[in-house]
Amino acid sequence: MKSATRASGWRTLGVGGALVALFWPLNWICESTHVLFFPLWLGYVLAVDGLVQVRTGTSLLTRAPRTFVLLFPLSVPSWWLFEAFNERLRNWEYLGAERFSDLEYFLYASLSFSTVVPAVFESAELVRSFRFVERFGRGPKFPRAGDSASYRWGLAFLGVALTAATLLWPRQCFPFVWMGPVFLLEPLCLALGRRAFTDELVRGDWRTWTSLWLGGLLCGCFWEMWNIHSYPKWIYHVPYVGFWKVFEMPILGYLGYLPFAMELYLMAQLVLSREAGIPLGERREVSS
């Protein structure tokens, strides 16, 4: 069984790696990123899923294939939400978007956005497969005030305040766009009995938090790297901290990928069943 699982993982890794090897150069030399972005990132998702399966004996695709597929349509409204925020913030824009009609832009963008959640979750599962993450399983316990309504309302109020500040003073408060939704979604998950961060933090278990932070950052690095020579592509207009760019992204901008991964996690908990284990599955066997 172990050899069959490992062989299945290698096959998935091979398919994903082949897609990346094919569409990475095409994405950089052809002015067709609007159709090449999806297969490139599908390759990334499959390659990472296969690597996780080889390392641990389980993966998102093998553990819950139906849920894995559902992550793609879930991803579309998740990212359009931040595109709506950006109408006020104007922190990024897409060069080449003017080539398309409004309907074409919506359809091509939605196809590309569909890979966001699977890519982040797969990256988080890959991080989770390394032994060093186990060190975060016995960390400081988060002092949650039980499951009281006042605690949940306090988090929600903070989330509303951060989001309102973002919209009222976009130039000064733009980083809050990545933080406010975390404080809005966490109490909603708690109220509905869904898996939430503080469920694990009250036990001192920071492994999911750590995996999502590092997985989001890993995924963000690939997003920015593959964007640099693409067309259409995105560029940034970030107030105050638009220096020391790594690819198109100012270096401090990468910090936004940390809470962004947390937001996607909480959104998924609200939509998917608790039994789906999205993310992160318990590891079975682990390579160093």
Contact between 254 and 174 (Cβ < 8 Å): no
Q: CB-based contacts of 93: which residues, under 8 Å, 6+ apart?
A: 234, 235, 237
pLDDT at 280: 66
pLDDT at 235: 96
Of 115, 135, 114, the residue nearest 211 (C-alpha)? 135
In tens digits, what is the pLDDT along the chain, a chain of 288 residues? 567 778 899 999 999 999 999 999 999 998 888 999 999 999 999 999 999 999 999 999 998 899 899 999 999 999 999 999 999 999 999 999 999 999 999 999 999 999 999 999 999 999 999 999 999 998 888 776 556 788 889 999 999 999 999 999 999 999 999 999 999 999 999 888 888 888 888 889 999 999 999 999 999 999 999 999 999 999 999 999 989 999 999 999 999 999 999 999 999 999 887 655 566 655 545 444
pLDDT at 284: 45
**Peptide bond preceding 280: is omega within 30 degrees of 0, i.e. cis?**
yes
* Distance in angstroms (rounded) separating the CA atoms of residues 104 and 113: 14
DSSP class of residue 234 equals E
pLDDT at 245: 95
pLDDT at 145: 55
* End-to-end alpha carbon distance in the chain: 21
Of 69, 120, 140, the residue nearest 257 (C-alpha)? 120
pTM, entire model: 0.93
Contact between 123 and 274 (Cβ < 8 Å): no
